[in-house]
Amino acid sequence: MKKVSFSIKTFGCQMNERDSEIMGQLLAERGYVESMDMNDADVVIVNTCSIRAKAEQKAMSLLGALRKVKKKRPGMRICVAGCVAQQEGLELCERMPHVDLVLGTQNLYALADLLTSLDGTPKLAINLSDSYEIPAFIPTLAALPHSSADHIEQAPAPAARPFRKFLTIMQGCNNYCTYCVVPYTRGREVSRKVTDILDEAHALVDAGICEITLLGQNVNSYGRTNPVTADGGRYTFSQLLRDVAAIPGLQRLRFTTSNPQDLSSELMRCFGEIAILCPQFHLPVQSGSNAVLSRMNRRYTRELYLQQVQELRSVRPDIALSTDVIVGFPGESDADFEQTMELLEEVRFHSSFSFKYSDRPGTRSTGFADKVDELVKSERLSRFQHRQDEICLEQNLLYLGKSLPVMIEKQSEEGMVGRTESNHIVHIAESLACVPGDIVRVTIHHAGHHSLNGRLIPPQQKGAA
Ligand code: SAH
Ligand code: SF4
Ligand code: F3S
């Protein structure tokens, strides 16, 4: 009998990427096979993101394109998952009658059962419960899908040997930053049990994974909202980092994301104490103005943020800091924005993600007065990004002449590509018999805005540079 094929397209954050992997594994375990071509798949899953208006539009336009595909192949089943699915629910079914299943963020694990129950009428599974528990889940790398294509026309790239993986440690968020949909689309903050996380991490390492990134919207508050150990005792994110780092065979550990309001000295010290914790930290600041931070309901000040940067750099001088910034938050004046620019000068982030503020359904800031003009937002964004680009290069130039360990990601005709511990991409114009995940030493001989170039140091010369 012909096997049922599926294809998943993912938008949004790393948590969504991980969720897509989980859905792919759940389907593979039920005998579905992954299709290289979304237009040809029996089941298409669009895993959506709602964080900014643009992210939602992208998912909507893909769904629009799929309407035409389904006209030609009425047997095709379309599932919308992720944050737009959770947020739009019934409305999505009404606006998009070609959608068969709307799968909410807490209904992920029911995907395979729900698909078998489809009978041509749209189904909704978008319950968001306060007592949700993330199920135990053991990844089997053999069943993991290929990464999804950017456009419906493109086939996914052939999967390379997986060597690094995301591991979700918590879901949801209780912070209610006034601009953010996450507390509404992912529900209240739930931490996974320590044993489930460690079992998953062990399974990954046993399967040959060398690098793990722990994921949560606010990892610093891991274990605060529900018990994560059998005895219900205190267990912090820092302890989790130590326990994961102790797994023999794991070579690199990262995590994301952190809200500065919950960043403890205990966690900062981990950068000096845990050998495999990479010196790289994404600490979203959002704005350099205390007035704006307060209206965003970000419960820290510019001063506290700068103090944290100083502390992190004193613990780990080579730490590469990155951030998120929103420009044009309602009421952001020229002077407020200048404070963000000044903060950029002061911290000199290795990289940043910056966005124009957009109203999101259900968020408090949608109702705020003094919306900033689109043109002003665009000007501010390009000023910020232009200066950040210059700083990226200035920071990257500091790596010139340094000898660094680089984890190989892939081989190409031009040589090899890998990453430093600080998460910089390094191009190496030489080849070596190695597999993704192997670590080589290189000397950096060129720095660009967004990547470095290195030369291999022959193994016998290790430590000479
Ligand atoms: N949990 C993380 C952020 C996750 S969302 C934290 O607390 O920092 C990723 C980024 O999207 C945010 O840091 C913010 O910069 C941006 N973002 C969120 N909502 C937005 C909105 N309504 N408009 C523009 N950018 C937004
Ligand atoms: Fe959104 Fe704030 Fe939660 Fe981050 S901490 S997910 S920005 S509500
Ligand atoms: Fe987007 Fe939801 Fe992640 S809104 S950023 S997919 S948590």
The answer to whether residues 104 and 166 belong to one domain is: no
Residue 304 in any domain: the answer is: no
Domain count along the chain = 3
Same domain, residue pair 107 and 188: no
Q: Whose C-alpha lies nearest to ligand 2, atom 5?
A: 175
Residue 57 inside a domain? The answer is yes
In this prediction, residue 171 carries a pLDDT of: 95
Q: Are 111 and 179 found together in one domain?
A: no
Task: Compute the distance between CA of residue 27 and CA of residue 144 in angstroms, rounded to an integer.
Answer: 10
Express each pLDDT in 6-46 by its tens digit.
999 999 999 999 999 999 999 999 999 999 899 999 999 99
Q: Are residues 97 and 178 in the same domain?
A: no
DSSP string, 112-129: HHHHHT--SS-EEE----
Give the residue from 240, 259, 278 where a domain finishes: 278
Residue 348 lies in a domain: no
259 and 200 co-located in one domain: yes
- Flag whether 309 is in a domain: no
Ligand 3 centre to CA of 56 (Å) is: 10
Residue nearest to atom 6 of ligand 3 (CA): 49
| 168 and 118 together in one domain | no
Distance from Cα 444 to the centre of ligand 3, integer Å: 35
pTM across the whole model: 0.94
Output the pLDDT for position 463.
53
* Same domain assignment for residues 9 and 115: yes
Evaluate whether residue 263 is within a structural domain: yes
C-alpha dihedral, 104 to 167 to 281 to 242, nearest 10°: 140
**Mutate which of 46, 185, 218, 353 for ligand 3 pocket (most atoms within 8 A of beta carbon):** 185
pLDDT in tens, 395-432: 999 999 999 999 999 998 889 999 999 999 999 999 88
Which ligand is closest to the CA of 284, given by its number?
A: 1
Examine the fold and report which residue of 247, 278, 309 is the final residue of a domain before the chain moves on.
Answer: 278
Looking up residue 206, the CATH number of its domain turns out to be: 3.30.750.210
Q: What is the CA radius of gyration of the chain?
A: 23
Residue of minimum CA distance from atom 4 in ligand 2:
217
Q: Is residue 216 part of a domain?
A: yes
The answer to whether residue 151 sits within a structural domain is no
Please state the rounded mean pLDDT for residues 109-133.
92
Residue 246 backbone phi and psi in degrees, to 5: -80, -5
Give the burial class of 137: count Cβ atoms within 10 A of its Cβ; 0-12 exposed, 13-18 middle, 19 or more buried. Answer: middle
Residue 411 within any structural domain of the chain: yes
450: domain range? 403-461
Boundary (domain end) residue, out of 234, 255, 278: 278
Beta carbon of 286 within 6 Å of any ligand 1 atom: yes
Q: Are residues 168 and 121 in the same domain?
A: no
The mean per-residue pLDDT over the stretch 289-304 comes to 98
Average pLDDT value for the chain: 93
**From ligand 2's centre to the CA of 218, what distance in Å?**
7
Residues 14, 59 share a domain: yes
